[in-house]
Amino acid sequence: MTVPESSSAAVSAMPRIGDPAPRFTAATTQGPIDFPGDYAGKWVIFFSHPADFTPVCTSEFVEFAALQDRFRQYNTELVGLSVDGLYSHIAWLRTIEEKITFHGHDHVRVRFPLVEDVTMTIARRYGMIMPGEDSTKAVRAVFVIDPAGIVRAVIYYPLSTGRNFDELLRLMQSLQTADAFGVATPADWRPGDPVIVPTAGSCGVAAERMAGREADVECQDWFFCTRSISAQEVDQAIRSDHAAAAGS
């Protein structure tokens, strides 16, 4: 997806689920980045925050940094962005490490890249600038990008609301479970809960399911059928997929 910088679409467009993640190169706190090419074969949570040295953003960065290794268990890397400059980013991240305690986490070092975007070019390309909210700050956007560089989920929060990190981790678990097993996950699903099997594609399959002839499948009606997948099976399948991707 390439959008001319001078067009009005560059201000308001946002990549949708199923679109290729817009490419960019930029300076970051971890060195230059070529996105999403540098993350081929990995999942990425690419997120924006309104500004450095702001309290809600600071709490979020402590949480992201504290959970980075947990996300990596799901082959997921983190990339942040704000419209501040690189030196501001560096000073803010040093302040977080030296002074900030949140949810029992202190002396937290942010090891994932924080992208410099003082021109707001990248933020506009991803639809992170919403003039009705603020014309000079990126809202709290989250883009989940899969190992093929495709946008798989998009979440937006207003400036006043910090993100829910349990939900971001659950989302990664859900997406990867759906890919690994060809299923969907119901409301409030967690690893180990029953999953939704694809809806029957014919009257014959529906009748067999309702008669209990399809192994391990439990149906409340022909269109609402579940099966059990243990948390251990989910973990093993995801790790196998990651190992296969790493070896390819």
Catalytic residues: 57
Q: Tell me: is residue 140 an annotated ligand-binding position.
A: yes
- Pairwise CA distance, residues 203 & 190, whole Å: 31
Pairing of strands 105-106, 218-221: unpaired
Burial class (CB in 10 A: 0-12, 13-18, 19+), 88: middle
Run of H or E residues at 26? strand 24-26
Residue with tokens 């579940």: 226
Which residues sit opposite 195 in a β-bridge?
227
Given its phi and psi angles, is residue 181 left (phi above 0), alpha (psi -120 to 50 degrees) or beta?
A: alpha
- Pairwise CA distance, residues 184 & 193, whole Å: 12
Angle among Cα 49, 191, 146 to the nearest 5 degrees reads 45
- Pairwise CA distance, residues 15 & 24, whole Å: 13
- Pairwise CA distance, residues 66 & 68, whole Å: 6
Helix axis angle, 55-72 relative to 165-181, nearest 10°? 30
- Torsion over CA: 60, 34, 240, 153 (sign): positive
Q: Looking at the chain, how many residues does it have? A: 248
Binding residues: 140
Binding residues for substrate: 140
